[in-house]
């Protein structure tokens, strides 16, 4: 009897240097078939993206699928809005149509760091709502759509990408921090609801991870059109690990939580920040 390949759906994969793409690569290397998604092929374009983050040769999720073609699993791409039930249905349906099952869901898609950024009185209520729609409503809708198919197979791994900001807050970024705190509570509730059915739900909480998305946030915060290595070094918190994190650091934690080895880990929050926050 041939071994059944697990199928993973990862949201927010449009950037070459992003956490979503790194997670997709890691799960593909582990032998899974992977569906990669984003709201548009190349993801969300941040108005404050610095020049060093430009990547003109990258075609987003389509390029990622081509890259994964040589791995041990298959890959497919689909675009959709995680905050829209129709978009969510389309993405989950694409996974089922392409591979016949859905075993692993990684909710990574997120609002741009610069959206809803600022002191509390400066945050536009509409931007607050947009951040909540993407960062919290999105994971809820994705889990809601995926859970029945995981129940049917008696197996599932849900990994929600939250943030250390969801635990300790974030200066001038209340919308982001509040949305990520909501993801932690959602994850714990999912663990209670689904835990007896072979399904686990856990969160990873990245700290400072060097991506084009985080660079865009720095660009807006510092009012600079470009970000050089010296600026990054000055802006990086005093992390015990002595460096900023990489998307691969987060992907390693996600891949473990998505594996059989993590079958007895449920409802947990795994901080990936080099020791900066110690709980």
Residues labelled catalytic: 176
The SS3 assignment for 257 reads helix
Angle at 193 between CA 166 and CA 250, to 5 degrees: 40
For residue 1, how many other CB atoms are within 10 A of its CB?
Answer: 3
Q: What is the dihedral of CA 175, 52, 42, 21, to 10 degrees?
A: -80
Instruction: Round to whole Å and give the CA distance between 216 and 223.
Output: 10
User: Residue 116: which of 127, 126, 125 has the closest Cα?
Assistant: 127
How many other CB atoms are found less than 10 A from the CB of residue 215?
23
Rounded CA-CA distance 15/19 in Å is 8
The two three-digit tokens of residue 51, written as one number: 């020049």
Phi and psi for 253 in degrees, rounded to 5? -65, -40
Provide the pairing of β-strand 75-79 with 104-107: unpaired
DSSP E strand boundaries for 140-265? 156-161, 199-206
CA-nearest of 99, 90, 195 to 147 is 195
State whether residue 94 is helix, strand or coil. Answer: helix
- Helices and strands (H, E) in the chain, number of each type: 10, 7
């Amino acid at each position: 009897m041939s071994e059944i390949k697990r199928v993973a759906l990862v949201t927010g994969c449009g950037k070459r240097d992003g956490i979503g793409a790194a997670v997709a690569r890691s799960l593909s290397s582990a032998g899974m078939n992977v569906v990669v998604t984003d709201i548009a092929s190349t993801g969300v374009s941040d108005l404050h993206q610095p020049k060093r983050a430009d990547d003109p040769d990258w075609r987003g999720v389509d390029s990622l699928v081509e890259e994964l073609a040589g791995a041990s699993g298959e890959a497919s791409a689909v675009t959709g809005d995680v905050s829209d039930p129709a978009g969510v249905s389309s993405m989950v349906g694409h996974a089922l149509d392409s591979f016949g099952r859905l075993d692993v869901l990684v909710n990574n898609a997120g609002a741009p760091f610069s959206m809803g950024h600022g002191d509390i009185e400066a945050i536009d209520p509409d931007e607050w709502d947009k951040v909540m729609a993407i960062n919290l409503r999105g994971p809820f809708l994705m889990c809601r759509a995926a859970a029945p198919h995981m129940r049917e197979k008696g197996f599932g791994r849900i990994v929600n990408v939250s943030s250390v900001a969801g635990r300790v807050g974030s200066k001038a970024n209340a919308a982001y921090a509040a949305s990520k705190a909501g993801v932690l509570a959602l994850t714990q509730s999912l663990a209670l609801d689904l835990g007896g059915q072979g399904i686990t739900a856990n969160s990873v909480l990245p700290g400072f991870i060097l991506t084009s998305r985080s660079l865009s946030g720095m660009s807006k915060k510092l009012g600079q059109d470009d970000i050089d290595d010296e600026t990054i070094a000055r802006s990086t918190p005093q992390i015990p690990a002595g460096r900023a994190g990489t998307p691969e650091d987060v992907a390693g934690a996600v891949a473990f939580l998505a594996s059989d080895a993590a079958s007895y880990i449920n409802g947990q929050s795994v901080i990936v920040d080099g020791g900066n926050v110690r709980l």
